Amino acid sequence: MIACCEPSGNWEIHRYMIKNKEIERLKQLRKELSAHNRAYYVLDNPSISDYTFDMLLEELKVLEAKYPEQFDPNSPSQRVGGAITKKFDTVQHDYRMYSLDNSYSLEDLKEWEARMHRVLGVVDLQYTCELKYDGASISITYQDGKLLRAVTRGDGVQGDDVTANIRTIKTVPLQLVGDFPQRFDIRGEIVLPFAGFEAMNAARLDNGEAPYSNPRNTASGSLKLQDSAEVAQRPLECLLYSMVSDRPFVQTQNESLDKARSLGFKVPEVAKLAGNLEEVIAFVSYWEKHRFDLAYEIDGVVIKVNNLQQQEELGFTAKAPRWAMAYKFKAAQVSTKLESISYQVGRTGAITPVANLAPVSLAGTIVKRASLHNADQIEKLDVRVGDMVFVEKGGEIIPKIVGVDLSKRLVSSVKVKYISNCPECGSVLQRHSGEAQHYCPNALGCAPQISGRIQHFISRKAMDIEGLGAETVSQLVVAGLIKDYADLYTLEVSDLLPLERMAEKSANNLVMGVKASVRIPFERVLFALGIRYVGETVAKKLAKAFRTIEALQGADLESLEAVDEIGERIAQSVYQFFREEAHLVLLARLKEYGLQFALSEEDLANTTDLLTGNSFVVSGVFEQWSRKELKKLIEDNGGKVSSSISSKTSYLVAGNKMGPSKREKAEKLGVSIISETEFAKMLTD
C-alpha cells in the first residue's frame, strides 16, 4: 500500500524551504527595485521599462502581505504612502540648521572675504558655488544606511517630523548604497519642478479648482499634508547639498557633494569649484541671466568656503555660518496703487502701519498688503495714500514698499499724519527714546494685546496647547470667558459649548489640551509669559542661569546682565516684568494651576558650576567626544562656548587637525591651549 501523502515531518521541511526562498526573494526584490528607482529618478537613466518595474513592485507587495513580520518602513512598496498624520511632532535637530547671510553685490562678497582673512590669516581660499534652489528646507537623518527621520527647518533648533511624507518622494533614498557613516544628517530642499507644477495646475483647472500660486509654496505646503498618499501623487523632488555628522568623513564641500551622489542622493550637477571671487562672480552672473532655463526655481547662488577645516575655524554667528554667503538675485519688483494705510496692534502694544494695495501679482503670488514698519519709514519714503508705489519681496518672501513713482503722484496728495491714539482702545500712543515704534500703553485693557499675549502663550514653541488656535482665543476673549492666559486653566467644557462651531468633542479636546500643558518644561513656560525681548534662546539661558522662577524674580540688574548674551535692554525688560503687580498675580495663579517654574531633576542631572566664569573655544577633531558633546559638557558645567577666540576666551580646547590660525591667535592673546585630556581633568578635579 502506497501512502497518499508525504509524512508530516517532510511537509514541514518543505514549507520551511518555501518560506525561506520567498523571504530571500522579497529581500532581493527590495534591492532590485531600489536600484531601478535610483537609476530612474536620480541618475535619469532607466534600467527597465515602467511595466516591468510595476510587475516587480506588485510581486513585492504580495510577498510583504504574506510575511508581515518582514515589514520595513524603507521598502520601495512604502513609496505610495498611506500613513495619516493628524499632528506633526516637534523634533529637535541633531545639528542646528542655520540661516545664511545675504549679499547683493561684489562689494558685499569682498567684505565677507576680508572678514574671513582676518580670522584665518591671509590664506588661499577656494569656494564651492551652488545654485540656491527655492523650496522647503529639510534635514534627513540616516542610521546604519536607512532613512530614520525627516524634519523641517522650523526655527533651526527644532522642526516638524514629516518622515511619512518624505518617504514618498522618489528622489529620497530609503536605503543607501556604498560606504556611509553610521549616523549622519543630510540637508536639502524639497522642490517642485516647473513641469510638475504646470501639470498639477492643469489638472486643478480641469476639475474647476483654483490653480496653485507658485512651486515653492506648493512644495512647502505638501510637506504638511496629513495624508502621505496624497503627497506621493505630487511630483516632488529632493535636491541635497550638505552632509553633517560628528566625525568628518571628507575634507571639502566639493568632496561632500560627490560623496552624497555616490550614496544615492540626487545632488544637482550645476556646481563650481572657484579659486577666487572673480570666478565666483562669473558663475553668479551666468546663472542670473540663465536662471529661467532651469527645470526648478532658484533665487540666487550659495557660496561656501570649500575647505571643511577652514569652515570649522571660521565657525558661526548666532544665526549663520561665517563661511557661507547667499548671493541673492535682484528681487522682482512691480508697481501698484497704495489705497489706504491701516494700523495693527501687536501683543506687546507695538503699532505697525500696513499699506493696503491694489492687488498685484508679484513673484507668483497676489500681493494686497505690505508692512510700512514704523513712522520713520513712512517719513523716509514720503509715501502717501493714492501714490503708485514700487513693491518687491524682501528675500523674495515678504512684500515691502521700496519707493514711490513721483511722476504719477497726484497734485492733491497730502503727507501721511501718523496716528496719535491706539486704533483699538483709543489710548494715547507712546514712543520711547531710541525706539522706532509707537506703543499702546494699555496692556491690560487693549483687546488685540490681550488676545496676542494669549495666542503667544498657547503657540507651538511655547505651551503648545492642542485644540486651541487664534480664532478660538478671539472667541473666548470676545465672549468674556478669558481676559488673560491664566484664565485658560479655569475653563470647563460647559463654558465652551455655547461658542460658535464648538462641538462637545472639540470642547473636551481643548480642556484636555490645557490640562496637559502643565507638563511643559520651565524654559518654554518662561518664553510663553511673553516678556518683551525674551525669545526662545534667551528664555533657555535665563532658565539655565537661575533654575527657578523665584530666583529669576529676585535677580537684580547686575545679575541679569551677567548671563551670557543678556544685554542691558533685555535685563531691564525682565527686571521690570517682575516688578509689576499684575504680572505677579498672574504668576501666582499659574503656579497654583501646576505649571513648571523650575528646571526638572532631569535637566539638573549631571550639571555643575565647575566651569562657571570660563569661556571656551573648541576646535579640531577629538577622540573621546564629538565637538557637539564637548560643547554640551562645557555648558552643563557652567561654562560658556564661543566660536571665535578673543581676549575674553579662557581656554582653547585643541583637537587633531586644528587650524593654525586659531592656535596663533590664542598664543598671541595669551589664551590657555588645552588638550581633550586636560579638559577632562578639569571636570574631575
Q: Model confidence over 402-449: pLDDT tens digits?
A: 899 999 999 999 999 999 999 999 999 999 877 888 999 998 889 899
pTM: 0.68
Confidence of residue 18 (pLDDT cuts 50, 70, 90): confident
**Beta-carbon contacts of residue 605 (< 8 Å; ≥ 6 apart):** none
CA 162 to chain CA centroid, Å, is 13
Under a CB-based contact definition with an 8 Å cutoff, are residues 326 and 129 in contact? no
pLDDT (average), residues 48-67: 80
Among residues 455, 515, 475, 525, the alpha carbon closest in space to that of 491 is found at 515
User: Is residue 645 over pLDDT 90?
Assistant: no
Confidence (pLDDT) at 256: 95
Residues 341-350 pLDDT 10s: 999 998 889 9
Under a CB-based contact definition with an 8 Å cutoff, are residues 489 and 514 in contact? yes
User: Is residue 2 over pLDDT 80?
Assistant: no
Alpha-carbon gap, residue 5 to 99, rounded angstroms: 72
Give per-residue burial for 145-162: e unless 16+ CB within 10 Å, then b: bebebbbbbbbeebbbbb
Domain residue ranges of the chain, discontinuous segments joined by +: 9-80, 102-328, 333-408, 447-519, 522-604, 615-682
Q: Going by DSSP bridges, is the β-strand pair 271-274/127-133 parallel, antiparallel, or unpaired?
A: antiparallel
Indicate if the alpha-carbon torsion angle 163, 525, 535, 554 is positive or negative: negative
Q: How many CA atoms lie within 13 A of 94 on its CB side?
A: 20
Among residues 255, 300, 273, the alpha carbon closest in space to that of 125 is found at 273
Confidence (pLDDT) at 440: 94
Confidence (pLDDT) at 81: 54
Confidence (pLDDT) at 442: 92
Strands in 281-430 per DSSP E: 298-305, 324-328, 333-345, 351-362, 365-371, 388-394, 398-404
The residue whose grid cell reads 532658484 is 298
The fold of 615-682 is Rossmann fold (3.40.50)
Q: Going by DSSP bridges, is the β-strand pair 158-160/333-345 parallel, antiparallel, or unpaired?
A: unpaired
Cα–Cα distances (Å) from 348 to 432, 443, 452, 573, 643, in that order, read 14, 8, 8, 12, 33
Most confident of 337-346, 354-363, 608-617: 337-346
Residue range 102-328, CATH number: 3.30.470.30
Which of 19, 132, 544, 668 is flagged as catalytic?
A: 132
Alpha-carbon gap, residue 506 to 475, rounded angstroms: 14
Q: What percent of the chain has pLDDT over 90?
A: 42
pLDDT (average), residues 58-63: 84
Q: For domain 333-408, say whether CATH 2.40.50.140 is its number.
A: yes
The fold of 447-519 is DNA polymerase; domain 1 (1.10.150)
pLDDT (average), residues 150-178: 89
Q: Let me know if 132 is a catalytic residue.
A: yes
Confidence of residue 566 (pLDDT cuts 50, 70, 90): confident
User: Is residue 30 over pLDDT 90?
Assistant: no
pLDDT (average), residues 69-90: 74
Confidence (pLDDT) at 364: 66
Among residues 323, 326, 324, the alpha carbon closest in space to that of 661 is found at 323
- Mean pLDDT is lowest, of 253-262, 580-589, 632-641, for 632-641
Residues 573-589 pLDDT 10s: 999 999 999 999 999 99
User: Is residue 114 over pLDDT 60?
Assistant: yes
Write out the three cell numbers for 49. 521599462
pLDDT (average), residues 600-629: 82
Alpha-carbon gap, residue 685 to 683, rounded angstroms: 6
Alpha-carbon gap, residue 26 to 20, rounded angstroms: 10
Give per-residue burial for 441-479: e unless 16+ CB within 10 Å, then b: ebbeebebbbbbbbbbbbbebbbbbbbbeeebbbbbbee
Residues 653-668 pLDDT 10s: 988 878 777 888 888 8
Residues 445-501 pLDDT 10s: 898 999 999 999 999 889 988 878 888 998 898 888 999 999 999 999 999 999 888
In DSSP terms, which residues pair with 149 in a beta bridge?
Answer: 141
Work out the angle between the directed axes of helices 277-290 and 106-120 (0-180°, nearest 10): 150
Domains 447-519 and 522-604 belong to one CATH topology: yes
The fold of 9-80 is Helix Hairpins (1.10.287)
Residue range 522-604, CATH number: 1.10.150.20
Among residues 401, 322, 315, the alpha carbon closest in space to that of 355 is found at 401
